[in-house]
Amino acid sequence: MYILIVTDSFTVSKNSVEQLFGSRLRVKILRLLFRNEIDFFDLDQLSERVQESKDAVKKELAELMAMGLVRSKKHF
Amino acid sequence: MRKNKKSNNSSKYFLNPNYEFYNELKNLILKLSSSERNSIIASINHLGRVRLAIASGVLLNDPSPSETADLFIVGDDIDRRRLSRFLKSLEASVGVEVKFVLMDKEEFRYRYGMFDRFIRLLFDGPHEKLINKLGI
């Protein structure tokens, strides 16, 4: 279940940190990861926690991985 | 809520601890900007007749675990649906669970007057008043 909140005044606000990092979603993903440094998240969990679609999260992850900031591994 | 049983062969993602600017980035990312703070205040004001809103714990720029509440709101006629939507969106942008406590003005007055333990811990610890229409 994914709930997208786009009309909330709080969600659409601009701020310089988001601008610096390119997107609000990127900041949200990084906040989640830095706040929970010892945890691993799969795409479903990330998408639920940041309240954004899996496709959007996947796209950001690809860029963060290309930058060398995020890594992934197959979980068995 | 967090049921992820089917995720047996999906990739897990994590931060690269050897990233060159790891600590610098962490400091920057965890900080709440003033514009974020302002929109949080606007959203809280929108919840109902809010008299007092106090940020603590994970909502401070120097985040620490809170013994009491990360967000404490005193108000009346609070719109519950709007409140749960706000909390969801707040948790999504802070990246961690937000401990939340709501009191009506009557209860707060009573507890404030009798030096209630919860109120005392909150006011004695690191906190920031986001909204204060009670003059305290």
For B12-58, what is the HEC assignment? EEEECCCCCCHHHHHHHHHCCCHHHHHHHHHHHHCCCEEEEEEEEHH
Q: Which of A8, A70, A71 sits opposite B43 (nearest CB)?
A: A8
Which of A3, A12, A29, A35 best probes binding to B when mutated, by most B CB atoms within 10 angstroms? A35
pLDDT tens-digit series, residues A30-66: 999 999 988 899 999 999 999 999 999 999 999 999 9
Tell me, what CATH number does A47's domain have? 1.10.10
Q: Is the model's pTM score more than 0.95? A: no
Q: Is position A61 within any domain?
A: yes
What percent of chain A is modeled with pLDDT above 90? Answer: 61
Nearest Cα neighbor of B102 from B133, B130, B71 is: B71
Q: Which of A9, A28, A61 sits opposite B95 (nearest CB)?
A: A28
Cβ atoms of B48 and B79 within 8 Å: the answer is yes
Q: Please report the pLDDT score of residue A4 as a whole number.
A: 46
> Is B31 exposed, middle or buried (CB count within 10 Å of its CB: 0-12, 13-18, 19+)?
middle
Q: Is position A2 within any domain?
A: no
CB–CB of A72 and B11 under 8 A? yes
Q: Name the token pair of A76.
A: 């068995």
Q: Please report the pLDDT score of residue B67 as a whole number.
A: 86
Q: Is position A4 within any domain?
A: no
Cβ atoms of B99 and B66 within 8 Å: the answer is yes
Helix (H) or strand (E) run with residue A17 in it: helix A16-21
Q: Which of A27, A34, A46 sits opposite B26 (nearest CB)?
A: A34
What confidence tier does B2 reach under pLDDT thresholds 50, 70, 90? low
The answer for residues whose C-beta is within 8 angstroms of residue A16's C-beta and 6 or more apart is B33, B35
Q: Is position A3 within any domain?
A: no
Furthest C-alpha separation in chain B: 56
What confidence tier does B33 reach under pLDDT thresholds 50, 70, 90? confident
> CA of A23, closest CA in chain B: separation in Å?
12
Q: Is position A74 within any domain?
A: no
Q: Name the token pair of B98.
A: 């937000």
Position B107 pLDDT exceeds 60: yes
Round to whole Å and give the CA distance between B74 and B111: 12
Number of cross-chain residue pairs from A and B with Cβ atoms under 8 Å apart? 137
Q: Please report the pLDDT score of residue A9 as a whole number.
A: 46
Number of domains in chain A: 1
Single-letter amino acid, residue A36: N
Q: Which residues of A touch B40 (CB under 8 A)?
A: 10
> CA of A13, closest CA in chain B: separation in Å?
7
Helix (H) or strand (E) run with residue A74 in it: strand A70-74
Read off the pLDDT of each residue in B96-124 and give the average, rounded to a whole number. Answer: 95
Q: Which of B16, B26, B89 sits opposite A51 (nearest CB)?
A: B89
Q: Name the token pair of A63.
A: 């860029």
Position B31 pLDDT exceeds 80: yes
Q: Is position A73 within any domain?
A: no
In degrees and rounded to multiples of 5, residue B46 shows phi and psi of -80, -10
* Residue range(s) defining the domain that contains residue A61: 20-66
Domains of chain B (ranges; CATH) run: 17-132 (3.30.460)
CB–CB of A73 and B12 under 8 A? yes
> CA of A21, closest CA in chain B: separation in Å?
9
Asked if the ipTM is above 0.90, the reply is no
Q: Is position A71 within any domain?
A: no
Q: Is position A27 within any domain?
A: yes
